[in-house]
């Protein structure tokens, strides 16, 4: 029986062989033709730069002079010896932690605010999302004016309301520069994370809450033992996007603080830009780019594994 | 015996928050949500106000008027040049992204060919690599290709960054199109491109709008790509040009005109957002699925 079953398709394909394989082959060819632009794009603008950046990181390569031959460990040791490197790493991590906590915390808060209903929830959702339609660069330029002493409205308003006596110096101190830049980021991105978390919240069935409240759970219990665990996937996605995005912070610091005061807000990407265009040393910039790629791949692997671990544990 | 709905209402009635009088329950909600809405809307409203309100140091020194905008019109290479560059970049990116991802999505959704999954994964892998890691070598590579310091080169690079989302979106949309129609057309002797043009394209229009919207917004607002890849001032898009305005004069910065520039940059994005809010949310959710 079994033998007859398995031999049947074979004999049929043998009989129809010629026509069938030609047709299959022509469809394969058509497929390759349609995917060709994608392949060219990926090869020329993604794979080739990846190979080139590795090569550049191992070479003495200047912005104007081009390739001047291999110098392998030099670019990497130059990074380590630079007085800007470790502070930039530490600052980028500090900023990433702060931005991630603020964005996910406030994003969840806003999502719960929308989820709790109310007459104007459509208006609220639009209001929170509106800044995410703007570019980060234009948002940073907006806040550059908003924080300025010359035109900024916040200090005059606070003084009229007699909340503060001396004006807030938004970007003059290292710590306040970090906080006020994070405020801009929260303004620009909180709506985005609200949306991810809102999608997750809406997927939680209502009857889970109802049966919990029958069992005597209060609102905090429901939040802690129902909302958070069932929101795990959305939270994990937000976490990955937020950490990756913050590790690559550039626009906001380049525009708002220009790395200052006293180089206290230089991020890793800003340092790459600095190497490439101020020092005009593409080799060092490439080496730091490779280091950054390595850091991100490790971070992504850790997050991926811990997410998968959490799934299996469940 | 009570019906289930009656029981549910009763349970809802005894849940703790129902013990609060309705007004008291809603007051914190309104205070909190009202304050949040003000915080989110205030900067946008202020930027619009500051762009027309006269302040010392700006072109518009007193009263209301469009002085800051007229200053911007003639500033350096002129607002029309920067606006035109931004439009070219954004529209170029949309056209290139749509063309490549529609054809690629069709190949992935309907054809079987060698290395199909490898090519798809490689396309998605673009997301894993920091933009700046690719921009440093691209600076050299575009020179080698003879398209350095050009809007075409930047649009091609921006399209590459859009490709993972766009290809994924197109593949998913096309896989959702039922195959029956195509099979009927094929029996009638239609070629694969006829099928693509007459059956697939009209069915994936919503996906195309989403991909186009995201590509447009990303390219319109991209800062670091043109900052690194464009060297000549008359090819700069708005984001880069306005930032040089901030650096231009030490001491007094023309903040009024800066905010006018912010309004010019933000306006097309906000209009698109209001026109296509549904698409924005939808596209964003399908983007969220990939994670």
Domain locations in chain B? 1-38, 71-289
Residues of chain B with Cβ-Cβ distance to A240 below 8 Å are 291
**Which whole number is the average pLDDT over A25-46?**
94
Q: Answer yes or no: do A133 and B270 touch at CB < 8 A.
A: yes
Residue A199: pLDDT above 90? Answer: no
Asked whether residue A34 falls in the same domain as residue A129, the answer is no
- Whether A173 is in a domain gets the answer yes
Q: Is A61 helix (H, G, I), strand (E, B) or coil?
A: strand
Lowest mean pLDDT among A87-96, A98-107, B253-262: B253-262
Q: Is A281 helix (H, G, I), strand (E, B) or coil?
A: strand
- Whether A198 is in a domain gets the answer yes
pLDDT tens-place string over residues A217-235: 888 888 888 888 888 888 9
- Whether A31 is in a domain gets the answer yes
Residue A283: pLDDT above 90? Answer: yes
Asked whether residue A139 falls in the same domain as residue A8, the answer is no
Q: Answer yes or no: do A35 and B167 touch at CB < 8 A.
A: no
pLDDT of residue A149: 82
Q: Where does the pLDDT of residue A311 fall: very low under 50, low under 70, confident under 90, or very high at 90 and above?
A: low
- Whether A93 is in a domain gets the answer yes
Asked whether residue A138 falls in the same domain as residue A31, the answer is no
CA distance, residue B65 to nearest chain A CA (Å):
16
- Where in the sequence is the domain holding A32, given as residue range(s)? 2-57
Asked whether residue A46 falls in the same domain as residue A99, the answer is no
Q: Pick B119's closest partner by Cβ from A35, A137, A300.
A: A35
- Could you list the beta-strand ranges (E) of chain A: 59-62, 66-70
- The pTM of the whole model exceeds 0.80: yes
- Whether A285 is in a domain gets the answer no
Residues of chain A with Cβ-Cβ distance to B167 below 8 Å are 38
A to B CB pairs, distance under 8 Å? 284
What CATH class is the domain B71-289?
mainly alpha
A6-A10-A15 Cα angle (round to 5): 145
**Which whole number is the average pLDDT over A86-110?**
95
Asked whether residue A90 falls in the same domain as residue A49, the answer is no
Report the mean per-residue pLDDT for chain A.
Answer: 86
Report how far residue B245's alpha carbon sits from residue B45's, in angstroms, rounded to the nearest whole number.
22
Asked whether residue A230 falls in the same domain as residue A94, the answer is yes
Report how far residue B237's alpha carbon sits from residue B269's, in angstroms, rounded to the nearest whole number.
15
The tens-digit pLDDT sequence of chain B (291 residues) is: 444 444 444 444 444 444 445 555 578 788 888 899 999 999 999 999 988 887 777 777 777 878 888 888 888 888 999 999 999 999 999 999 999 999 999 999 999 999 999 999 999 999 889 999 999 999 999 999 999 999 999 999 999 999 999 999 999 999 988 888 888 888 888 888 999 999 999 999 988 998 999 999 999 999 999 999 999 989 999 999 999 887 755 567 888 889 999 999 999 999 998 888 877 776 666 544 433
Q: Answer yes or no: do A130 and B270 touch at CB < 8 A.
A: yes
Asked whether residue A141 falls in the same domain as residue A40, the answer is no
CATH label of the domain that carries residue A101: 1.10.3720.10
Q: In chain A, positions 118-157, which contact chain B (CB-CB < 8 Å)?
A: 118, 120, 123-124, 126-131, 133-138, 141-146, 148, 150-151, 153
Residue A63: pLDDT above 80? Answer: yes
Residues of chain A with Cβ-Cβ distance to B133 below 8 Å are 50, 53, 289-290, 292-293
- Whether A283 is in a domain gets the answer no
Residues of chain A with Cβ-Cβ distance to B265 below 8 Å are 134-135, 138, 141
Asked whether residue A159 falls in the same domain as residue A235, the answer is yes
pLDDT tens-place string over residues A125-134: 899 999 988 9
Asked whether residue A134 falls in the same domain as residue A44, the answer is no
A29: left (phi over 0), alpha (psi -120 to 50) or beta: alpha
**Which whole number is the average pLDDT over A10-39?**
77
- Whether A69 is in a domain gets the answer no
pLDDT of residue B291: 32
Residues of chain B with Cβ-Cβ distance to A47 below 8 Å are 122
Q: Answer yes or no: do A56 and B140 touch at CB < 8 A.
A: yes
Residue A43: pLDDT above 50? Answer: yes
A130-B82-A131 Cα angle (round to 5): 10
Q: Which residue of B has its CA nearest to A303?
A: B291
Phi, psi of A103 (to 5 degrees): -65, -45
pLDDT of residue B18: 45
Q: Pick A27's closest partner by Cβ from B50, B111, B167.
A: B111
A45 touches B: beta carbon within 8 Å: yes
pLDDT of residue A16: 53
Asked whether residue A120 falls in the same domain as residue A247, the answer is yes
pLDDT of residue B81: 94
CA distance, residue B281 to nearest chain A CA (Å):
8
Q: Is A68 helix (H, G, I), strand (E, B) or coil?
A: strand
Lowest mean pLDDT among A271-280, A285-294, B183-192, B256-265: B183-192
Burial call A216-225: b when 16+ CB within 10 Å, e when fewer: ebeeeebeee
A185 touches B: beta carbon within 8 Å: no
Q: Answer yes or no: do A273 and B228 touch at CB < 8 A.
A: yes
Q: Which residue of A has its CA nearest to B252?
A: A150
Residues 6+ apart with CB under 8 A from B30: A118
Report how far residue A108's alpha carbon sits from residue A128's, in angstroms, rounded to the nearest whole number.
12
- Whether A205 is in a domain gets the answer yes
pLDDT of residue A306: 80
Asked whether residue A26 falls in the same domain as residue A112, the answer is no
Q: In chain A, positions 270-289, which contact chain B (CB-CB < 8 Å)?
A: 272-273, 276-277, 282, 285-286, 289
Asked whether residue A111 falls in the same domain as residue A210, the answer is yes
Report how far residue B115's alpha carbon sits from residue B205's, in angstroms, rounded to the nearest whole number.
28
Closest CA to B67 of B56, B58, B78: B58
pLDDT of residue A2: 38
Q: Answer yes or no: do B40 and A49 touch at CB < 8 A.
A: no
Note the ipTM here: 0.86
Residues of chain B with Cβ-Cβ distance to A150 below 8 Å are 55-57, 252-253, 255
Count of the separate structural domains present in chain A: 2
Residues of chain B with Cβ-Cβ distance to A144 below 8 Å are 246, 258
Q: Which residue of B has its CA nearest to A36?
A: B104
């Amino acid at each position: 029986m079994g033998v007859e079953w398995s031999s049947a398709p074979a004999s049929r394909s043998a009989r129809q062989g010629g026509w069938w394989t030609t047709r299959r082959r022509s469809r394969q060819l058509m497929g390759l033709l349609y995917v060709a632009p994608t392949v060219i794009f990926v090869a020329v603008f993604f794979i080739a730069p990846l190979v080139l950046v590795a090569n550049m990181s191992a070479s003495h390569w200047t912005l104007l002079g081009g390739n001047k031959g291999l110098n392998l460990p030099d670019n990497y040791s130059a990074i380590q010896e630079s007085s800007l490197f470790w502070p930039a790493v530490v600052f980028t991590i500090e900023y990433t932690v702060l931005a991630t906590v603020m964005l996910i915390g406030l994003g969840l808060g806003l999502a719960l605010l929308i989820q709790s209903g109310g007459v104007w929830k459509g208006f609220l959702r639009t209001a929170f999302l509106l800044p995410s339609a703007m570019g980060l660069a234009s948002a940073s330029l907006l806040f550059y004016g908003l924080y300025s002493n010359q035109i900024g409205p916040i200090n005059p308003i606070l003084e009229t309301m007699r909340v503060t006596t001396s004006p807030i110096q938004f970007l003059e101190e290292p710590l306040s520069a970090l906080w006020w830049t994070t405020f801009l980021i929260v303004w620009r991105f909180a709506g985005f994370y609200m949306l991810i978390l809102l999608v997750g919240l809406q997927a939680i069935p209502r009857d889970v809450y109802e049966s919990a409240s029958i069992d005597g759970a209060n609102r905090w219990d429901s939040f802690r033992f129902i909302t958070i665990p069932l929101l795990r996937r959305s939270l994990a996605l937000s976490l990955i996007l937020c950490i990756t995005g913050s590790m690559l912070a550039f626009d906001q610091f380049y525009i708002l603080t220009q790395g200052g005061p006293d180089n206290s807000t230089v991020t890793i990407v800003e340092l790459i830009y600095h190497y490439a265009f101020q020092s005009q040393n593409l080799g060092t910039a490439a080496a730091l780019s490779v280091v950054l790629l390595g850091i991100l791949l490790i971070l992504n692997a850790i997050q991926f594994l811990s997410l998968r671990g959490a799934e299996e544990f469940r | 015996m009570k019906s289930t709905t009656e029981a549910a209402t009763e349970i809802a009635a005894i849940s703790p928050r129902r013990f609060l009088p309705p007004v008291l329950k809603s007051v914190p909600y309104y205070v909190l949500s009202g304050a949040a809405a003000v915080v989110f809307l205030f900067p946008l409203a202020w930027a619009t106000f500051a762009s027309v309100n006269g302040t010392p140091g700006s072109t518009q020194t007193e009263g209301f008027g469009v002085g800051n905008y007229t200053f911007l019109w003639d500033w350096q290479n002129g607002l029309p040049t920067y606006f035109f560059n931004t439009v070219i970049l954004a529209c170029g990116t949309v056209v290139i992204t749509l063309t490549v991802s529609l054809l690629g999505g069709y190949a992935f959704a309907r054809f079987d060919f060698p290395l199909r999954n490898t090519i798809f994964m490689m396309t998605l892998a673009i997301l894993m690599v920091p933009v700046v890691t690719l921009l440093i070598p691209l600076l050299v590579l575009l020179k080698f290709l003879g398209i350095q310091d050009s809007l075409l080169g930047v649009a091609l690079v921006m399209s590459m960054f859009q490709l993972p989302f766009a290809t994924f979106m197109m593949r998913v949309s096309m896989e959702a199109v039922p195959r029956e129609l195509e099979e009927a057309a094929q029996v009638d002797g239609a070629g694969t491109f006829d099928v693509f043009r007459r059956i697939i394209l009209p069915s994936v229009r919503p996906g195309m709008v989403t991909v186009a919207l995201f590509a447009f917004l990303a390219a319109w607002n991209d800062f670091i790509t043109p900052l690194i890849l464009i060297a000549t001032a008359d090819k700069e898009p708005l984001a880069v040009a306005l930032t040089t305005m901030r650096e231009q004069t030490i001491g007094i910065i023309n903040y009024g005109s800066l905010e006018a520039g912010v309004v010019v940059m933000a306006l097309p994005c906000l209009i698109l957002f209001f026109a296509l809010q549904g698409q924005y949310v939808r596209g964003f959710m399908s983007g969220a699925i990939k994670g």
